[in-house]
Amino acid sequence: MDEKPSLGSEVSIADNLRRVNEQIASACERAGRDASDVTLIAVSKTFPVDAIAEAWTAGQRHFGENRVQEGLAKLDQLPGLGVEADVHLIGHLQRNKARHAGRFASVQSVDSARLAEAISRRLDRELPILLEVNVGEEASKGGFKVEEVAGAFEQIKCLTNLRVDGLMTVAPEVDDPEDARPVFRKLRELAEQLELAELSMGMTNDYAVAIEEGSTMVRIGRAIFGNRLEVGG
């Protein structure tokens, strides 16, 4: 039988959220920014829907899911718990599952023009999307190469019912968050060139640096929900 991730017992999700929001505010202060300019996306992948409900009760409104099927299951359950939350798809979306994209508040991981076209064909409303950029050019990660983004943006922005709001990246794993700064800076410069407002960058280990470099969305899981145990495939 699969084990379920533990939410931990020493501190509550509400306490964790309070601490994370304080750290976001501190990073914004250092950067001369307003904390309201940064959206916290609580990454709830592998955690039960009750964890989302607990975070929602504590005031959290935006959540991120990596897997389509898991996200859809939670979207079906949340209304029964009285939760009205924005659930964003932040993980890879296969083209054969593009029909599900419209269920999410946004898709932050559009990594090809073909995927964007597949999503566009299946939408009956405007959907915000972000273009995923593999700034670090890691073979294990998806996303556009930096030099591909401008051309892809010109192609994708013309598609029906898609609104390209900005860019997203996953920085390489590093021991020192400062080592991720060049990646975040490169994405910000690219967004500025394309006149895109949203930058989804920064996770538990490096979000303070990402905010200092202009991130408008940080995707944080472990610092809010605790250590997760991956289950299933």
83-116 pLDDT, tens digit per residue, is: 999 999 999 999 999 999 999 999 999 999 999 9
Residue 141 lies in a domain: yes
CA 231/CA 227 separation, integer angstroms: 13
* Inter-CA distances, 86 with 29, 39, 198, Å: 26, 12, 16
CATH number of 90's domain: 3.20.20.10
Residue 230 lies in a domain: no
Burial of residue 77 (number of CB atoms within 10 Å: 0-12, 13-18, 19+): middle
Residue 231 lies in a domain: no
* Number of domains the chain is built from: 1
Would you say the pTM of this structure is higher than 0.85? yes
Residue 105 lies in a domain: yes
Residue 220 lies in a domain: yes
Q: What local confidence, expressed as pLDDT, does residue 230 receive?
A: 52
Domain that holds residue 136: 13-225
Residue 6 lies in a domain: no
* Inter-CA distances, 154 with 49, 102, 151, Å: 38, 22, 5
Residue 25 lies in a domain: yes
Q: Which residue has the higher pLDDT, 9 or 154?
A: 154
- Angle at CA of residue 211, ends 19 and 49, nearest 5°: 50
Residue 182 lies in a domain: yes
- Residue with tokens 């964890």, as numbered in its chain: 51
User: 197: closest CA among 145, 128, 107?
Assistant: 128
